[in-house]
Amino acid sequence: MASEKVTSMDVAKKAGVSQSAVSRVLTPGASASKKTAAKVISAVNELGYRPNIIARTLITGKSRIIGLVVAYLNNRFYPKVLEKLSNKLQKEGYQVLIFIAQNTDDDISNVIEGILEYQVDAIVAASVGMSSDLAARCQASGVPIVLFNRGQTNSALSSVTSDNFKGGWKAAKHLLELGHKKIGYIAGWEGASTQLDRESGFVAALKEKKITITHREVGNFVRNEAQDAARRMFSNQNHPTAVFVASDHMAFAVIDVLRSELGFRVPEDISLIGFDDVSLASYSAYNLTTIKQPITQMVESTVNILLDQINHPQVQKNQIIKIDPTLIKRNSTSSVKDSK
């Protein structure tokens, strides 16, 4: 059956030059005469030679692989991130090695250790919390890490998020402008910085108007938990007229429950606002008003930080980037009805 692998030695022999000559011809910065270059190139083509990145990695110390840790792929937000990130990195000559982790300290720790074995040039941890000692170990390993969509209390690591506090704030402003007074909140997983910041921002803006949340439930960023949260929140007469749901993914769950189980209309009876602006939010079945996370910019910043840290390992500066999210008004929110 199949061809043996062809190495730079084979090319060298075929071209009648040394292996180092082959290497130099194929390395952009190196010196080689046109004559040998030509010979090498034609030998490369004839033999169908492809350099072995693994061998190259061993000697250069650069694998051109970026490790990506993800926890929730079921949330629509992350496939998009993966796509954009991978595309952008591919353009820069890097590839993405995927690691799926459960969101527990233990598992994340294991996964990160595993990543390091692959000699990745950098790590992106998307929506994954990091204990500070794990963070420390990562730093020690010398591999740059960027937290994506998760902040960190001790800011030892670089992170890129949208400004979740501001996002929560804007959500509140929007509901207030529409005249809502009885306002609920459905929280995400409380271990996530995104959840905390969104809620703080939301509460802070309400407080300015001397309003506090009347109802609060936890959905943990999970569909069926969000559904349960909605059922609890709207199980009695005294329910809010507007709800901020900490992610679009959960907001869809809430809308489904409100409309098809509980018989509410959205937005006529209840106003709902989400967070993320995943593509489904714009489908007319939901038409969800939401706070848009600027994925493109977030990914861009992430890649910039990564490349910067890969190329200048000596300067140990960690950056905290927060990008302004924007309110996208659609049709899941409306002015409060004169109640009763």
Partner DNA sequence: TACTATTTTGCATACGAATGCAAAAAATAA
Partner DNA sequence: TTATTTTTTGCATTCGTATGCAAAATAGTA
Single out the residue of 140, 75, 144, 136 nearest to residue 103, CA to CA.
Answer: 75
For residue 255, state whether it binds a copy of itself (rule: CB under 8 A).
yes
Site for a copy of itself in 305-334 (CB under 8 A): 316
Choice from 28, 29, 31, 117 touching a copy of itself (CB under 8 A): 117
Q: Which is nearer to a copy of itself, 90 or 212 (CB)?
A: 90
Q: Which is nearer to DNA, 52 or 224 (CB)?
A: 52
Choice from 283, 296, 312, 335 touching a copy of itself (CB under 8 A): 283
Edge to edge, what strands does the sheet with 289-292 contain?
215-218, 183-187, 242-245, 271-276, 289-292, 326-328
Answer with the entry of a copy of itself, DNA, none that 280 interacts with (C-beta below 5 to 8 A by kind): a copy of itself
Give me the amino acid identity at 192: A
Q: What angle do CA 193, 186, 190 make, to 5 degrees?
A: 30
For residue 9, state whether it binds a copy of itself (rule: CB under 8 A).
no
CA 138 to each of CA 69, 133, 150, 242, 303: distance values in angstroms, whole numbers, following the listed order:
14, 9, 16, 43, 18
Strand partners, 274: 290
Q: Are 206 and 212 in contact (CB under 8 A)?
A: yes
Answer with the entry of DNA, a copy of itself, none that 316 interacts with (C-beta below 5 to 8 A by kind): a copy of itself
Q: Which is nearer to DNA, 94 or 185 (CB)?
A: 94
Query: Would you give the DSSP letter of residue 29?
Result: T
Residues at the contact surface with a copy of itself, assessed by CB under 8 A = 1-3, 5, 48, 50-55, 57-58, 63, 65, 73-74, 76, 78-80, 82-83, 86-87, 90, 95-100, 113-114, 116-119, 137, 139-142, 252, 255-256, 259-261, 279-280, 283-286, 316
